[in-house]
Amino acid sequence: MTTLLYGRPPAVFDPPGDAVQTSPLIPDSTPLESVAEESVDAVMVYAPPGVLERRYTLALALRALKPGGRLDAMAPKDKGGSRLKKELAAFEVEVGESAKAHHRRCVVIRPKSVTGLDEVIAVGAQQIVPGLEAWSQPGVFAWDRLDAGTLLLARTLPPMKGAGIDLGCGYGALATVVLRSPGVTALRLVDLDRRAVEAARKNVTDPRASFEWADARTLEDGGELNFVVSNPPFHDGGAEDKRLGQAFIRKAAGLLKKGGVLWLVANRHLPYEAELNDAFKRVTMVADAGGYKVFEAVK
């Protein structure tokens, strides 16, 4: 029996322990896109909050199921849960719905034929975004636009030199700007989201770039880089979490050599100063505009 799991449902939903993990946010998991059609017996999806991303994931899960296989999908009521039933019913399948622990849970036994999967999968797939002229995908951070914080950092950055890393690279917007500096010898692009890394690979074709699908917090503290650039994440599972950015700051210090520099952009209200002053020798706020601040921190 083959069972797939997407994400990390709360324990009350009794997620299968022996399932194959398919979330793009869990490094080394199996892409749901790569699972053969009608090949698995059961799928449990902890449905993501974005509408396009969620419908895409549900469609991929239904595509992967054998006829007669069971889809179990749940989401917090206020983060897409209340729309799950309607979204699943749009595939012309019968949906059972229940409520538990502030979630909605839907169960579908996959019929022989399911309507509209290809169309929904096409809308949620990796694509070139008109206007952005870059590869991206629903679910990736600021997937169809240039984030205002990234833009401020890109405009503030002086030419970088030597070897560096972009922590939380997204689809590669900031990295593209960094690589305009001829003094850059190498740039590692790291992100927790496989979709972001896959898009960045297509957007950043410079041979000095390398790509890692990884949790930045688990990178080895090499102490050898000349620079770090980062627009760090400040949400974990939908809730604001300043600890993520603080962990990125500590990791940046661990990756840099003495005299190396971190360029960081953050929402104005996020308290990163203490962490920066703790881990770095000299910290300067270089820009403060449009609700964001940019720091230069020298180790």
In the structure encoding, which two tokens stand for residue 146, read together? 């240039």
CB atoms within 10 A of CB 118: 10
The residue among 295, 299, 243 whose CA lies nearest residue 273 is 295
CB–CB of 271/288 below 8 Å?
no
Task: For ligand SAM, give the closer residue by CB, 91 or 141.
Answer: 141
> Stretches 43-51, 124-132, 180-188, 209-217: which one binds ligand SAM (CB under 6 A)?
209-217
CB atoms within 10 A of CB 71: 23
Alpha carbon separation from 256 to 174, 175, 263, 299 (Å, rounded): 19, 17, 12, 7
> Stretches 52-60, 74-82, 166-174, 269-277: which one binds ligand SAM (CB under 6 A)?
166-174
Does position 196 bind ligand SAM by CB under 6 A?
Answer: yes
Does position 268 bind ligand SAM by CB under 6 A?
Answer: no
> Stretches 2-10, 43-51, 170-178, 255-263: which one binds ligand SAM (CB under 6 A)?
170-178
| Amino acid sitting at position 237 | G
Does position 191 bind ligand SAM by CB under 6 A?
Answer: yes
Q: Which of 193, 198, 275, 296 binds ligand SAM (CB under 6 A)?
A: 193
Task: For ligand SAM, give the closer residue by CB, 177 or 279.
Answer: 177
Does position 168 bind ligand SAM by CB under 6 A?
Answer: yes
* Interacting positions 171-190 with ligand SAM (CB under 6 A): 173-174, 190
Indicate the SS3 state at residue 232.
coil
HSE-CB of 215 using CA atoms within 13 angstroms: 10
Q: Footprint of ligand SAM on this chain (CB under 6 A)?
A: 141-142, 147, 150, 168-170, 173-174, 190-193, 196, 215-217, 231, 233
